[in-house]
Amino acid sequence: MEALARGLREGAGWMVFCTALMLLALAMPQSVFDPESRDFLLLLGAVGIWRYSMGAIHYLRGLLFLYLVFPWYRRQARKLGEAADPSHVFLLVTSFRIDALTTAEVYRSVIEEAIACGYPATVVCSLVEMSDELLVKSLWRKLDPPAHVSLDFVRIAGTGKRDGLAYGFRAISRHLPDDDAVVAVVDGDTVLTPGVIRRTVPYFRLLPKVGGLTTNEFCEVRGGYVMSEWHKLRFAQRHINMCSMALSHRVLTLTGRMSVFRAQVVTNPGFIADVESDHLDHWRLGRFQFLTGDDKSSWYSLMRLGYDTFYVPDAAINTVEHPPEKSFLKASRKLMFRWYGNNLRQNSRALSLGPRRLGWFTCLVLADQRVAMWTSLLGPAVAIIASLKYGIQFLLIYLLWIGMTRLALTLLLVASGHPVGPAYPLILYYNQVLGAMVKVYVFFRLDRQSWTRQNTRLERGLATFQSWFNAWSSRAMTFSAVSVFLAVLVSVV
């Protein structure tokens, strides 16, 4: 009954969206549909050619990897048989301020997977609170693992996830793992699906240059309908982009939700230092530590150390998402601020590695991240300016274009294998506009960071003048950049 009700709701949603799109089309002047008219040229959105071209390239590369290249890799991995088995599997789980129900669900799945994979395994728990340790011990006694599965605790002071990971990596180093051992890094809100370890570990033997790989994500959102659809859309897009970058063995992030590394990587002192105390030397803001973005730090460290990265689309995990605010607008803005800040902080120094290390396509993608914040705002800004100068019909034309293209993009996501809902076209546009605005804002404030769950912020202890200079120079540069952007558009349109 629940599935039927959900299907009826989604069917009604699609009908409402398509009806609104048709009514908008009927309100258009006839010249819109005349190929020789200037309105039609505007409808084509010539200013968006670059953005749509990059999206099309990612999409085609993603499908190529998902349906042709990866199945070949999977067949080759299966042919290896027991030769691809690791000598030992470490499952490092970091937990802090996660509700007991989610914690129990996560650790149950981790312990069960350590047992079921059949390899010698050690579950390493990086914990802050004694209550979590007692909970894990209770689950351990109840599940009664065999002798080849062991348990190790690492107690930390609650100073952040980076410290939790670093202490966990050092604990694994004390076990003296050999070159054939692997380490799965699991976040405290990630539930493993059965068989995820066996689906991931063979690729380390098949692809000797791969230092780390990441997995496909699905989610359960503890929030309202829009928030749930927003997260699901994000994971569907993530899946296609990950597949696209995996074609070049250059997956751009090793998500902390569930990634697997060679043990020789996570025991490398340089890698541990990169994750624990990563920082950026900025020409205006000075040196500051990275509070969030450990997944980007681990990726950059692997690139710097000469490893490749990979994606296993048929190895899935389920994450439990806890929105930081009840309001969708506030929660999405907070999460975007954290995610996009992590991307931009890594962007410039990653580009400095150059195409010889990263490859030309990866460098192109990284460069596009820097201009996408402006190209994404170009369309709505031009539509508003044109409607004010020449008439409201230009805004209506733009809205029809957005409705049609976002509907097409949503339907294309069906190929990802992730669920697709009727709210996706509107959420896609919401992400484009608000996401671009957040990127512009955070680009000039890279030192401002905070965790959404822990509600902690980076405190730099700056002198009064330096703090004042950073704040006001960020405002001045934001105002100048936006002013130049709008002035150019007003003069051109």
What the block records as the tokens of 120 is: 């010698």
Distances (CA, A) of 94 to 26, 110, 117, 408: 55, 12, 21, 39
Residues 344 and 375 in one domain: no
Residues 434 and 299 in one domain: no
Helix residue ranges per DSSP H, 279-359: 294-305, 328-351, 355-358
Whole-number pLDDT of residue 60:
95
Asked if residue 74 belongs to a domain, the reply is no
DSSP E strand boundaries for 206-346:
210-221, 258-262, 279-282, 286-289, 308-321
Q: What is the Cα–Cα distance from 200 to 74, expressed in whole angstroms?
A: 10
Asked if residue 157 belongs to a domain, the reply is yes
Q: What is the Cα–Cα distance from 88 to 182, expressed in whole angstroms?
A: 6
Q: What does residue 444 show for φ and ψ, rounded to 5 degrees?
A: -95, 5
Residues 320 and 171 in one domain: yes
| Beta-strand pair 190-192/210-221 | unpaired
Lay out the sheet containing 149-155: strands in order across. 149-155, 121-127, 89-94, 182-187, 258-262, 210-221, 308-321, 190-192
Residues 320 and 237 in one domain: yes
Residues 140 and 28 in one domain: no
Q: Tell me how far apart the terminal alpha carbons of the chain are, to the nearest angstrom.
A: 53
Asked if residue 64 belongs to a domain, the reply is no
Q: Give the chain's domain count.
A: 2
Whether the Cβ atoms of residue 307 and residue 188 lie closer than 8 Å to each other = no
Say how far residue 125 (Cα) sits from the centre of its chain. Answer: 24
Nearest to 450 by CA among 297, 339, 346, 320: 339
Element (H, E) at 122: strand 121-127
Residues 90 and 177 in one domain: yes
Residues 450 and 335 in one domain: no
Residues 381 and 421 in one domain: yes
| Beta-strand pair 308-321/286-289 | unpaired
3-state helix, strand, coil in the chain (%, to 5): 60, 15, 25
Asked if residue 62 belongs to a domain, the reply is no
Residues 151 and 26 in one domain: no
Q: Is 405 helix (H, G, I), strand (E, B) or coil?
A: helix
Q: What is the Cα–Cα distance from 350 to 309, expressed in whole angstroms?
A: 14
User: Which of 317, 338, 358 is a domain's end point?
Assistant: 358
**b/e 98-113 (16+ beta carbons within 10 angstroms → b):** beeebbebbbbbbbeb
Residues 282 and 329 in one domain: yes
Asked if residue 65 belongs to a domain, the reply is no
Asked if residue 364 belongs to a domain, the reply is no
User: Which of 308, 324, 358 is a domain's end point?
Assistant: 358
| Beta-strand pair 210-221/149-155 | unpaired
What the block records as the tokens of 411 is: 């339907």
Structural domain span for residue 419: 1-52+369-492
Q: Say which residue the tokens 């509700």 belong to.
A: 99
What the block records as the tokens of 469 is: 């200079």
The number of residues in the chain equals 493
Residues 83 and 46 in one domain: no
| Beta-strand pair 210-221/258-262 | antiparallel
Provide the 8-state DSSP code for 289: E
Residues 390 and 287 in one domain: no
What the block records as the tokens of 492 is: 């051109």
pLDDT tens digits for the chain (493 residues)? 666 666 677 777 778 878 877 777 777 666 555 544 454 445 445 556 777 888 899 999 999 999 999 999 999 999 999 999 999 999 999 987 788 888 999 999 999 999 999 999 999 999 888 888 899 999 999 999 999 999 999 988 777 788 889 999 999 999 999 999 999 999 988 999 999 999 999 999 999 999 999 999 999 898 889 999 999 999 999 999 999 999 999 999 887 789 999 999 999 999 999 988 888 888 888 888 887 778 888 999 999 999 999 999 999 999 988 888 889 999 999 999 988 888 888 887 888 899 999 999 999 999 988 888 888 888 888 888 888 877 787 788 888 888 888 999 999 999 998 988 889 999 999 999 999 999 999 999 888 877 665 555 556 566 677 788 888 888 999 999 999 988 888 887 7
Distances (CA, A) of 53 to 35, 47, 50, 56: 22, 11, 5, 5
Asked if residue 414 belongs to a domain, the reply is yes
Domain with 137 in it: what CATH number?
3.90.550.10
Q: Is 375 helix (H, G, I), strand (E, B) or coil?
A: helix
Verdict on whether the full-model pTM lies above 0.85? yes
Q: What does residue 452 show for φ and ψ, rounded to 5 degrees?
A: -80, -35
